[in-house]
Amino acid sequence: MEKYFEVLCMCPLFRDIAHWELTKALHCLNARVFSFEKGEAVMNEGEPAKYVGIVLTGSFQIVRTDFFGNRSMIANLVPGELLGESFACAGVEAVPVSVLASEAAEVMLIDCLKISHSCSNACQFHQQMIDNLLQIVAAKNLVLHQKIEVTSKRTTHEKLMAYLMLQAKQFGSLEFEIPYDRQELADYLEVERSGLSAEIGKLRRQGVIEADRNRFKIYKPFDV
Amino acid sequence: MEKYFEVLCMCPLFRDIAHWELTKALHCLNARVFSFEKGEAVMNEGEPAKYVGIVLTGSFQIVRTDFFGNRSMIANLVPGELLGESFACAGVEAVPVSVLASEAAEVMLIDCLKISHSCSNACQFHQQMIDNLLQIVAAKNLVLHQKIEVTSKRTTHEKLMAYLMLQAKQFGSLEFEIPYDRQELADYLEVERSGLSAEIGKLRRQGVIEADRNRFKIYKPFDV
DNA sequence: TCCCCTCTGTTGAAATTTCAACATACAAAA
DNA sequence: TTTTGTATGTTGAAATTTCAACAGAGGGGA
C-alpha cells in the first residue's frame, strides 16, 4: 500500500489529513486496490453506486453507450482523481455511466458509507474527508458544465474550436496533448468521426491548427 | 421570515435539522430574502460564486449564453431547490451560467462560507448542513448527466423523445407539463426552435404525442 | 373592440452532418 | 520481412438542421 502514498497524498480526498493518519484511515476505510486491463470496467452502467474510486495509475474514461450503441464520452480520469463519487454520494441505484480503463490501470476503492459514518475507533478524519468530498463533487460539476458548453455548439467546427481553446487554456499553452484519439474525441464532441477528421483536415490546411494524433497546436486562437 | 418555514422545512439543505434550530440557524447564517421580477438575474455569468440560494417562491432558470448569443438552457428550479451551490462549494471565481427568474420569484441567499465555518456561537447544525450539501451537489450532478444524455442524441426527434420519456418517467405519468416554452425547450435540447416545432407537429400528426403549449401526452412510448 | 406583442407552426433553400465505403499510414505481430 | 490490424483521412450521396421569413392564434392593454 505504501507505494501509492505519493498519489494518495496529492489526492484531494485526503487534503489536510496528516500523513501519519493516512495509513490508519486507509485501514479504517477498508480501502482495497484493484488492477484493470485496458477496456475493463470498474463500474458498469445500471449498477448501484457504492464505491468511491481513486485512480492510482493509468487512466480511465467515463462513457455512456445508448440503446443504439452510440457512445458518449464524458471525461478522462488521471491518477489522483476520483471516480463514482457523485453517484455514491447521491446514493443512486443505477449509475448512468460506465467507467473503463483506457490503459492498464489501478484504482483504490473505498466503501462510501465508511466515509460518512464515523467508525467505532472514533477516527478524526471522517469530517475532513466529507468536507473534501464536497469540494470534489462540486468541482466535478464544473467538468460537466464544460462538456455542456462545448457540445452545445451547433457545428463540428465550433465544437472542436471550443474544445481546443479550453484545453489550451487549461494547459496554459497553445500546444498540448489531449487524452483522446479521434473516435474518442468525436464521442466527446458528440459528432461523427469522419466529420471530425474532415474538419481537422480543413483547419490544418487553413493553417489554423497543427494536429498530429493527439498532439495539437493552435496557430490562430480566433477564426478570423 | 416565518412565512417561508414551510418551504424551508422541505428544503434538503435543512434536512435533519430541528425546527427549533432553524430560526437560530437562519440568523447565524445571516440569511436574507430577495425578490426578483421575471427576467431578473440572481447570478450572472462571469461573477464569482459566493452565495447559495434557496428558491422560496416562483421559479428560476439556469442558462448560458455564448459569444454569438446562442442560449443554452441547463435546468429549471422550483421552490425548495438550491442554486449556485456547486459553484460556491467549488469556490469558482467566474460562474459559467446565469440564473434568471422565469416569473416573479423570491430566493433566500446564504453566504457559503458561513455554512462551512463553524460560528462563534458553536452552532450544532453546520455539520449536518455540510452533509446535506454533499448530497445536494451530488444530485445536481445527476441532473447534468441527464441533460448530457438527452442532448448527446444526434437528431431533434431522438432528443425530443428522450426528453419526453425522461419527464414521463420522473412525473410517473405519460401526461405531464414541462417547465419550458418552445424556445426554452429548444435551448435545452440544443436545437433550432423551428425544427423542434416541426418535429412536434410531425409526432402529433403521427399520433405519437399530444402537445398543447407546455402540456404533453405520450401515446406510444416507443417509436415503432 | 381594436391594436400590439408574444408564442407557435410552416416552409423552402442553404448549410452541415451522417453514413457507408474505401485509401493510406503506421505499428505490432508473425 | 511480410502480414495484420488499428487509427486516421477522404469522399459523395442522403438525411437533417439551420436560417430567414412569414402566418395565425391568443392574450393583454388602450
Predicted pLDDT at B199:
98
Domain boundaries, chain A: 2-141, 153-218
Q: Which 173-192 positions of A have CB less than 7 A from strand C?
A: 190-192
Q: Chain B: residue nearest A190 by CA?
A: B152
CB–CB contacts below 8 A, A to B: 118
With beta carbons under 8 A apart, name residues in chain B contacting A133. Answer: 134
pTM of the model: 0.96
Predicted pLDDT at A165:
96
Which CATH architecture group holds B2-140? Sandwich (2.60)
Q: Please state the separation of Cα A34 from the chain's center in Å.
A: 18
- DSSP class of residue B69 equals S
pLDDT of residue B25 exceeding 60: yes
CB A82 within 8 A of CB A8: no
**Closest CA–CA distance from residue A158 to any residue of chain B (Å):** 11
Predicted pLDDT at A224:
36
Residue nearest to nucleotide D16 (CA to C1'): B155
Report how far residue A60's alpha carbon sits from residue B124's, in angstroms, rounded to the nearest whole number: 40
pLDDT of residue B119 exceeding 80: no
The residue assigned the cell 428550479 is B77
Mean pLDDT of B33-40: 95
- DSSP class of residue B175 equals E
Predicted pLDDT at B223:
39
Predicted pLDDT at B71:
96
Q: What percent of chain A has pLDDT over 90?
A: 88
Predicted pLDDT at B224:
36
What is the SS3 assignment for B6? helix
Question: Which pairs with CB-CB distance under 8 Å and at least 24 residues apart come from A30-35?
Answer: A30/A110, A30/A111, A30/A114, A31/A1, A31/A108, A31/A109, A31/A110, A32/A108, A32/A109, A33/A1, A33/A4, A33/A106, A33/A107, A33/A108, A33/A109, A34/A106, A34/A107, A34/A108, A34/A109, A35/A104, A35/A105, A35/A106
- Asked if A96 and B152 come within 8 Å (Cβ–Cβ), the reply is no
Mean pLDDT of A130-154: 97
Predicted pLDDT at A68:
86
CATH class, B153-218 region = mainly alpha
Mean pLDDT of A46-53: 96
Report how far residue A166's alpha carbon sits from residue A182's, in angstroms, rounded to the nearest whole number: 17
Backbone angles phi, psi at A169, to 5 degrees: -65, -45
Provide, in whole angstroms, the distance separating residue A74's CA from nucleotide D12's C1': 32
pLDDT of residue B43 exceeding 90: yes
3-class secondary structure per residue, A88-140: HHHCCCCCCCEEEECCCEEEEEEEHHHHHCCCCCCCCHHHHHHHHHHHHHHHH
pLDDT of residue B82 exceeding 90: yes
Report how far residue A102's alpha carbon sits from residue B77's, in angstroms, rounded to the nearest whole number: 37
Predicted pLDDT at B125:
87
Predicted pLDDT at B221:
57
Mean pLDDT of A64-84: 95
| pLDDT band, residue A117 (cuts 50/70/90) | confident
Q: What percent of chain B has pLDDT over 90?
A: 88
Task: Please give the mean pLDDT across all residues of chain B.
Answer: 94
Residues 6 or more apart whose Cβ sits within 8 Å of residue A58: A36, A79, A101, A102, A103, A104, A105, A106
Residues 6 or more apart whose Cβ sits within 8 Å of residue B51: B43, B84, B88, B109, B110, B111, B112
Which CATH architecture group holds A2-141? Sandwich (2.60)
Mean pLDDT of B128-154: 97
Task: Please give the mean pLDDT across all residues of chain A.
Answer: 94
Provide, in whole angstroms, the distance separating residue B201's CA from nucleotide C2's C1': 31
Predicted pLDDT at A1:
67
Report how far residue A169's alpha carbon sits from residue A221's, in angstroms, rounded to the nearest whole number: 11
- Asked if A74 and B148 come within 8 Å (Cβ–Cβ), the reply is yes
pLDDT of residue A185 exceeding 60: yes
